[in-house]
Amino acid sequence: MRVVVTGGTGFVGAHLTRTLAARGDSVVCLDVVRASPLLDGLPDVTMVRCDVGSWAELFHALRDARPDIVFHSAGILSAFAEERPQAAYHANATGTYNVLEAASLLGISRVVFTSTIATYGPGVSKTVDESTQQRPTTMYGVTKTFGELLGEYFTHRFDVDFRAIRLPSVIGAGRGPGGASAYSSLIVSEPARGRAYPIPVRESTVTPLLYVKDAVGALIGLAEADGSRLRRRTYGVNGFSPTARELADAVCRAIPGAHIAFQPANAITSIVATWPERVDDSEATADWGWRAGHGLDSAVGDFVAELAAHPDWP
């Protein structure tokens, strides 16, 4: 199968590319960054420099690749989006429009969009589902909500088979800084490399987390699901929802002697406070058999093992 992954050198995009290439798919990665240590040495992966916010670049890249499916994961994450809202709009909103417009014009059969629980905004209940009202207050959340709604429009107006996964915070090897939820990966990767890590949220902070291998499985699972069984275009998925203290304790179990301490930062805590604590993913389970494969300890354990196996990953 021919596949395009936008944002293919990013964290989720690179792990998705690794999985697709390993099973024999021919993958084209589109990104403004043309290399990633997560992708070194992979067969059947073509790297193309492309700004998805540029219509000409994006259209020509998709026309040349002729993919069966586009996994659209390009975008600027939450903390950086607040620092550079115009750049975030260009990448996240204009970029998504360009992908869907090109898919419509080129006859690309399916677009799978990486969305986020940041679309909900403050004031929601601790547990959310697909029917929970979305009122985001961050540029990241606003542009991702726009992407979901735009995908619905292209489905009904132009017959594009749009599908989206609303991800919680994704953790795993190879995720660097960037995004308010990056602490949930850095709390593992920094101690695993012998470095101290100041945790920028409060001990009681609860954040829904998903291991990156499960996030990739969700994207591929929804992409390959029987369309006749799908009752909606966007699905939320859930992994596990520890407090920051419980996450820190799991890290200490996996990395004895880990040096971590809580030093809350207002810029991060104010964003994280707008997120729900758990996603009810029963619709994804019922419609296409979704099920997370990792809990807290198994995710942290595998995370540490992956870092040991790939010391060059960020």
**pLDDT for position 80:** 86
Digit-by-digit pLDDT tens for the chain (314 residues) are 999 999 999 999 999 999 999 999 999 999 999 889 999 888 779 999 999 999 999 999 999 999 999 999 999 988 889 899 999 999 999 999 999 999 999 999 999 999 999 999 888 999 999 999 999 999 999 999 999 999 999 999 999 999 999 999 999 999 988 777 889 999 999 999 999 999 999 999 999 999 999 999 999 999 999 999 999 999 999 999 999 999 999 999 999 999 999 999 998 888 888 889 999 999 999 999 999 999 999 999 999 999 999 999 88
End-to-end CA distance of the chain: 29
pLDDT at position 176:
80
Q: What is the pLDDT of residue 20?
A: 97
Q: Give the bridge partners for 5, in sequence order.
A: 29, 71
Distance CA 203, CA 109 (A): 45
At residue 44, the pLDDT reads: 79
Strand partners, 96: none
